[in-house]
Amino acid sequence: MSFSEHQSMRLLFVDDEVQFLDTLREYFETFATVATAQSAEEALPILSEFKPDVIISDQRMGLISGIDFLQKSITVSPDSERILMTAYGDISSVVQSINKARISYYLTKPVDFQQLKLAIEQLSEASLLRRENDSLIKKLQLTNLDLESKVAERSADLQSAYTILQQIQNTREQMVRMAVHDLKTPLGNIELVLHEFERGGVSPDDFKDLLDIAKQSINTMKALVEDMLTVAVISQPQYHLIKDDLELIPFLTAIISSFEQTAKHKSIRLTVNFSNNLPIIQADSHQLQHVMNNLVSNAIKYTSFNGEVVVSVWCKSNEAVIQVKDSGLGMTQEDISEAFQEFRRLSARPTGDESSTGLGLFIVKKIVELHGGSVSIFSEGKDKGTTFTVKLPMY
């Protein structure tokens, strides 16, 4: 490697002989950028701005010797290489101070310029290699940090995915246990009905009663299967709603109409209270139907004969508010705190021996939150009715 390959090399010469400094400048400035100083005191301020690649200093100078100056230069310009020029008689003290001042070369005076040039070239090559090595190390460190960050991020993603999979697995296991438990009774009832039919001789009245038992058992199993399938779908991490424009009044009117016969069977007054000019909202009508079916169905289930269920809808700020209020059995504070958990059944029991899967309110909360909304419960306690309030954004 030669100077011609490194025209930008910076050299600082320090010597109290002016003529010698001029000669050094004239010789080396064709190869490098050269700065000179006639004393250590003059050279120290130059170091902080010039940052030379190589410092070449005489040993015998004024108040501060070359060794002391080069030692001080370590603090100001730690990356510089250092060469000391000295008289032959000072060699022993120079040898003792090589480590102290980080001296790479020392040359005796009178200095051979070719030898000095060779020393500078060698130091330049070493300095360049060191800088390249430092740069590579920094790049490697940054790469390692980036890799560590990506590994940590990936590990967190994997841990999160593992946690979700565990939750899904636990949910599936719970659903299987619940299905096995809850399907025993309706299956047993159907088996009993079939056995009675097989025996024959069933009177018309008994035939109707048995047929009602079979239908109710089938509906119980159907409701359980539908709720389990809904939970399985909406609990998937990759699940997304299919939203579209939805007009609330015709949507809710159709749902409430489907419960009129059920309410009439228990002499329950099922009424609606809709505000005029309700806006069109963005919603998944199929999943929102699950919400309303569960809320209205629950209200009827837990309301005694001759009670009342009122479904109200209005707008408030940027939200559509849907409220289902009943005059039924009410809820305790413990019921309210656990109502939206999976497989939770309320302390009250349906007033007409209706079935309950324990999944309905969990489905309600999950679907409402997927829409960016919220659902809340209010009840003053046992036998004082319950109010469910759903709030959906209108964007």
Establish if 323 belongs to a structural domain: yes
Establish if 31 belongs to a structural domain: yes
Establish if 349 belongs to a structural domain: yes
Domain identity same for 248 and 388: yes
Torsions phi, psi of 230, nearest 5? Answer: -60, -45
pTM for the whole structure? 0.54
CATH number for 59: 3.40.50.2300
**Helices and strands in the chain: count of H runs, count of E runs:** 11, 12
pLDDT at position 255, please? 92
Domain identity same for 64 and 177: no
Give the end of a domain, one of 111, 144, 176: 111
pLDDT at position 288, please? 94
User: What is the rounded CA–CA span in Å between residue 366 and residue 241?
Assistant: 11
Domain identity same for 257 and 218: no
Domain identity same for 324 and 250: yes
Establish if 135 belongs to a structural domain: no
User: What is the rounded CA–CA span in Å between residue 364 and residue 389?
Assistant: 11
pLDDT at position 1, please? 45
pLDDT averaged per 10 residues in sequence order, the chain, 395 residues:
58 93 91 92 91 90 89 90 80 72 86 88 80 82 86 86 76 67 77 83 82 82 80 80 90 92 91 86 92 92 92 90 93 87 69 70 91 93 92 86
Residues of the chain by 3-state class (helix, strand, coil), percent to 5: 55, 15, 25
Establish if 383 belongs to a structural domain: yes
Establish if 155 belongs to a structural domain: no
Using alpha carbons only, how large is the chain's radius of gyration in Å? 45
Torsion 56-61-67-69 (CA) sign: negative
Give the end of a domain, one of 214, 234, 254: 234
pLDDT at position 61, please? 87
Q: Specify whether the CB–CB gap between 59 and 92 falls below 8 A.
A: no
Q: Which domain holds residue 311?
A: 244-393
Establish if 324 belongs to a structural domain: yes
Domain identity same for 197 and 250: no
Number of domains in the chain: 3
Q: Position of tokens 């619940």?
A: 178
pLDDT at position 171, please? 65
* Residues 139-171: b if buried by 16+ CB within 10 A, e if exposed: eeeeeeeeeeeeeeeeeeeeeeeeeeeeeeeeb
Q: Specify whether the CB–CB gap between 309 and 303 falls below 8 A.
A: yes
Q: Specify whether the CB–CB gap between 241 and 287 falls below 8 A.
A: yes
Establish if 120 belongs to a structural domain: no
CB atoms near residue 57 (< 10 Å): 27
pLDDT at position 303, please? 92
What does the block give as tokens for 334? 């413990």
